[in-house]
Amino acid sequence: MDAGVIGVLSVLLACTRRAVGIVRRLEVIPANLADTRPQFSLLTLLLVLSIASLVMGPVRSSRMADGPDFAVFWLHYVLFAVVFGINIVATVWSTLGFGSVLLRLIVVVAVSAILGISLGVSIRMDTLGWRLVAYSSVLTLCPTAIIATTLLFLRPSGFRLTRLACDAGAVE
């Protein structure tokens, strides 16, 4: 099981490398990239809705299933892999991206808490009490906090998330 989760997360990170970028150490951080404002497009909206459907589909399917069986187990497995993969990619984007980090970290913490609640709902913790659903967000907030803290210590060293075409000033 653990090897499967690591494999799924590795494939997810390898696939997102092209879209999100690569972590590199830059000697000089370009001033024109440091103060850019976020821009949203229809592609961004499509990406957010696709991620939401990737999470909510297994949540709803596992809730509608009638008992513990093999399909429900795999739905939970896929949901856990998708949730933790989204958390890893979002945390790297928020901490090592150009510009201000605080707003992006707030967004990532909120998304992480919502993804944790979706895990709790898919396991039917809401039938046992609202506190268990609220505490289920700890499942995703703890790894997010650990990854964000680690990457924030790398940020002053010049590590940034850059596009693959941005080779100027990179140390290989």
Q: What is the spatial distance between Cα 11 and Cα 17, in angstroms, rounded to a whole number?
A: 10
CB 63 within 8 A of CB 72: no
Q: Where are the domains of the chain?
A: 2-8+41-167
* Model pLDDT for residues 80-93, shown as the tens digit of each residue: 888 888 888 888 88
Q: What is the spatial distance between Cα 61 and Cα 63, in angstroms, rounded to a whole number?
A: 5
Taking residues 128-147, what's their average pLDDT? 84
At 40, the amino acid letter reads F
Residue ranges of alpha helices (H) inside the chain are 2-20, 31-34, 42-64, 70-96, 102-122, 130-135, 138-154
Q: What is the pTM of this model?
A: 0.71
Q: What is the spatial distance between Cα 18 and Cα 13, in angstroms, rounded to a whole number?
A: 9
Q: What is the pLDDT of residue 63?
A: 73
Taking residues 154-170, what's their average pLDDT? 66
For the sheet with 159-162, list strands across it.
159-162, 22-26, 170-171
Taking residues 105-130, what's their average pLDDT? 83
* Model pLDDT for residues 36-65, shown as the tens digit of each residue: 565 667 777 777 778 788 787 777 777 777
Task: Provide the β-strand partners of residue 161.
Answer: 23
Positive or negative, the Cα torsion across 149, 160, 51, 2? Answer: negative
